[in-house]
Amino acid sequence: METPYSVKNTWDLKGERTKQEILEAAVSLFAKNGFHNTTISQIAESARMTKGAFYCHFESKEAIFCEVVREVKALWNSLIIKEIGKEGGALEKLIKMLDIFMELTLKNKDQFVIFIVLIAEFTEVDEKFERVLKDAFDEFFSSVSEIVEEGKRAGSIRTDIDSRLLAVTLIGAWQGILLQWLLNRNQVILNDLVSILNRFILEGISVKGGSNG
């Protein structure tokens, strides 16, 4: 027998599905056209709904932007941090992190591409949204810095390298790899680019003859 609670649950699930459809449509359009060149009408049309239905879930295009950033952060926390935590030493964790980046990029290309697009659009243009992006990257940098510090304590990573600067460099290198892969997909394989980066990481930051910790 249907109860008020089950009806509410059904509506909640339907609402979440609709919200996700809007997000997917928006991310695809942002990645293709940029944030400022995408309109709410275009998002609603792509999600096959009216503008009125759109506003039932998001008050503005900017609200979608914040939700997209939140989802990428959640993806990082639920998948990357959880998975690399299973690895043994810090070097293995860093390599695993880049491997997972590659897998996630192939599965969720638009979500990761959108970060590059948004950085280009908002840096030194919109202070509010630039701050949202910076806060997200600060979380990413802190997570990687902690792994680097772990490696320094274990004797596997050189202590003369600043942990946060290394974290910024690694994530920046990944962004560069992603961009070059997108530009040259017919000429390069993402896995090959990641393998080269992994090799440079191992050779550049590891203590020769040190442990794998």
Note the pTM of the prediction, 2 decimals: 0.77
Helix (H) or strand (E) holding 163: helix 163-183
For residues 84-92, give the mean pLDDT.
Answer: 80
Q: Which of 42-46, 97-101, 137-141, 169-173 has the lowest mean pLDDT?
A: 97-101
Report in angstroms the alpha-carbon separations of 90 from 87, 152, 163: 8, 9, 12
Q: Which residue has the higher pLDDT, 124 or 200?
A: 200
Residue 97's H or E segment, with its range, is: helix 90-107
Condensed to tens digits (0 to 9), the pLDDT of residues 25-39 reads 998 898 888 888 999
> In this structure, how many other beta carbons lie within 10 angstroms of the beta carbon of residue 197?
19
Structure confidence at residue 5 (pLDDT): 44
Across residues 66-80, what is the average pLDDT? Answer: 81
Q: Where does the pLDDT of residue 4 fall: very low under 50, low under 70, confident under 90, or very high at 90 and above?
A: very low
**Mean pLDDT in residue range 13-42:** 87
Domains of the chain, start order = 61-205 (1.10.357.10)
pLDDT at site 58: 94
pLDDT band at 211 (very low <50, low <70, confident <90, very high): low
Instruction: Band the pLDDT of 46: cuts 50, 70, 90.
Output: very high
What pLDDT score does 16 carry? 84
Mean pLDDT of the chain: 82
Candidate from 32-41, 44-53, 99-108, 145-154 with smallest mean pLDDT: 99-108
- Mapping DSSP to helix (H, G, I), strand (E, B) and coil, where does residue 155 land? coil
pLDDT one-digit tens code per residue, 144-199 = 999 999 999 999 999 999 999 999 998 888 888 887 887 787 777 888 888 888 88
Structure letter (DSSP) for residue 207: P
Least confident span in 38-52, 108-122, 125-139 = 108-122
Which residue's structure tokens are 């996630």? Answer: 104
